[in-house]
Structure 1
Amino acid sequence: MVIASETAAAFGASAELQRLLEVQMPYGKYAGRLIADLPGHYLGWFAREGFPRGELGRLLALMYEIDHNDLRALLFPLRQGR
């Protein structure tokens, strides 16, 4: 049996993954590039120097964890739906 909170958490996680394919980097060398398409070394720089506040920082931190753990394949099914 799936508990409602587990369903909500799974939906929230998938919504965050979807946002990685919608939100563009607003500034810097990679301005205009989707968060999901940022290179690992750039994400690593943010991890060392500090992520910005708000949604952008959350998404960059999430993408860093995905990249660092070699999980970019999680985004493939979401990209196919575009």
Structure 2
Amino acid sequence: MEIKPDKRKLLELAHYKMPFGKHKDWYLVDLPVAYLVWFKQKGFPTGKLGEYLETTLDIKSNGLEPIIRKLQKEFPK
């Protein structure tokens, strides 16, 4: 079975910024892993933000950050 990522969502995630807190206005890919793990332990927020935080943790945990950084560079907002 082949997994095909949703290109539109990946582009949106690449440009999505944290809307609140200590890391407000940081791109999600720039958030510290410890912060993302803390969210996982406490429970990700509902909705798009929670989905993107969880996906960002998966991306960072698997060393796939260069993909997001490439998208940011090649498809500026």
TM range (shorter): 0.7 to 0.9
Superposition CA RMSD, Å: 1.8
Query: Residues 72, 11 of structure 1: CA spacing in aligned structure 2 closer, same or farther, 3 A cutoff?
Result: closer
Tell me what 2:15 maps to.
22
Aligned 1:11-50 pairs, distance under 5 A: 12=6, 14-50=7-43
1:49-60 aligned at under 5 Å gives the runs: 49-60=42-53
In 1, distance between residues paired with 2:63 and 2:5?
22
Structure (1/2) with the larger helix percentage: 1
Structure-2-length-normalised TM-score: 0.81
SS of residue matched to 2:72: helix
SS of the equivalent of 1:70 reads coil
The letter for the 1-side match of 2:18 is M
Residues 18-53 of structure 1, C-alpha deviation per residue, up to 9 Å, x if partnerless? 112222111111011111211111111111111000
Stretches of structure 1 lacking an aligned partner (at least 5 in a row): 1-5
Per the alignment, residue 10 of structure 1 pairs with: 4
Amino acid at match of 1:43: L
* Higher Cα radius of gyration: 1
Flag the structure with more relative contact order, 1 or 2, with Cα contacts below 8 A and sequence separation at least 6. Answer: 2
8 Å CA contact 1:16–1:59 kept in 2: the answer is no
| 1:51–1:57 Cα contact (<8 Å) kept | yes
